[in-house]
Structure 1
């Protein structure tokens, strides 16, 4: 293990800090405020890729496509242990690749109108291996956040404006599907 930190671009479920902290610190008993202080989340854009919903899943995949771009989160302060948890979470459906993204100094609307791109930075991203398993439609983050995210998070990793994360009953089959 090294002392070096990593950066990554997240474009799906991990854009939600609640999911990221659940994946990277699921069993941690550390102070949540301390854990939150270790990482920076900044809106960013990845050119040359397309995001699609994975068939029969709550999450997306990206594939190279020169005519598209993907908006997501650039996250810094990742440790080797974080990367191990992320690799395990992403599993065999994805390859981790090094890419360059542009951090957004101003975030536009859902269509990207009004985006102002800033610094270009290098980071890791998980690219989907099987494009034929992707639906022919964009993955909807807001739909995930409001309808599915509660199955993907640890309840004590709440953030501002996330009242939909209040403890709710979840069926055992829903928990199994999310893991």
Structure 2
């Protein structure tokens, strides 16, 4: 797929700020965070989306931290006829939560590329996640960040999406630039939820 220009100005809206901790802040850039629960949990996919390289140089990789985290009040299901999942709110079911990866050190350019990659099926929304201890999986600090919530609940299968299955069976093709961006439309990035919960279109 040909290189596509993405409007980076849209990425400044409401992304969880982790300036004090991030590696990118050292370069004078404003820094953001996100919670990933699907294909982007794999660093190789994240770096392919943001840099078109599944294994960029160490000086690039080291600017980002992937930490296990839990998103409460949501459920994750496979999108019909797709390799990836979507999450939707499910506050009615006690104990419902989604395990994923909290990533900080994101730049505005990264966020714009992620919006482009996720597309109009998703809304980027502010959420609170609980960081997990890497060693035993116990709970840690609760932080505010953003995640991509699926917009079309009727398009989700009943079954849970399996990350281990994705890594085993699908990861190889998802680190190919031509495959990752094949269905992306620069005119239809992810929408961004406003503070009152409405969706704002990006232009």
* TM bracket, shorter-chain basis: 0.7 to 0.9
**Aligned counterpart, 1:164:** none
Shift of 1:105: 1.1
Contact 2:122/2:149 (CA < 8 Å) preserved in 1? yes
Contact 1:49/1:64 (CA < 8 Å) preserved in 2? yes
User: What is the CA RMSD across the aligned residues, in angstroms?
Assistant: 2.4
Among candidates 21, 33, 39, match of residue 58 of structure 2: 33
Cα separation, partners in 2 of 1:143 and 1:78, compared to 1, 3 Å: same
| Number of equivalences | 154
TM-score of the two chains, using structure 1 as the length reference: 0.79
Summarize deviations over 1:71-109 as a string: whole Å, max 9, x none: 00000000000000000000000000011100001566x
Contact 1:41/1:73 (CA < 8 Å) preserved in 2? yes
2:80 is equivalent to residue 55 of structure 1: yes
SS at match of 1:97: strand
Contact 1:152/1:178 (CA < 8 Å) preserved in 2? no
**Aligned counterpart, 1:126:** 148
Among candidates 83, 92, 104, match of residue 132 of structure 2: 104
- Report the Cα distance in structure 2 between the residues aligned to 1:132 and 1:121, rounded to whole angstroms: 30
- Report the Cα distance in structure 2 between the residues aligned to 1:128 and 1:59, rounded to whole angstroms: 11
Cα separation, partners in 2 of 1:60 and 1:31, compared to 1, 3 Å: closer
Shift of 1:27: 6.5
Which 5+ residue runs of structure 1 have no aligned equivalent? 109-114, 156-171
SS at match of 1:19: helix
Contact 1:18/1:154 (CA < 8 Å) preserved in 2? no
**Aligned counterpart, 2:160:** 138
SS at match of 1:62: strand
SS at match of 2:83: coil
**Aligned counterpart, 2:46:** 20
- Report the Cα distance in structure 2 between the residues aligned to 1:151 and 1:142, rounded to whole angstroms: 15
TM-score of the two chains, using structure 2 as the length reference: 0.70
Which 5+ residue runs of structure 2 have no aligned equivalent? 1-8, 13-28, 184-203
SS at match of 1:21: helix
Cα separation, partners in 2 of 1:107 and 1:97, compared to 1, 3 Å: farther
Runs of 4+ in 1 over 3 A off after TM superposition: 175-179
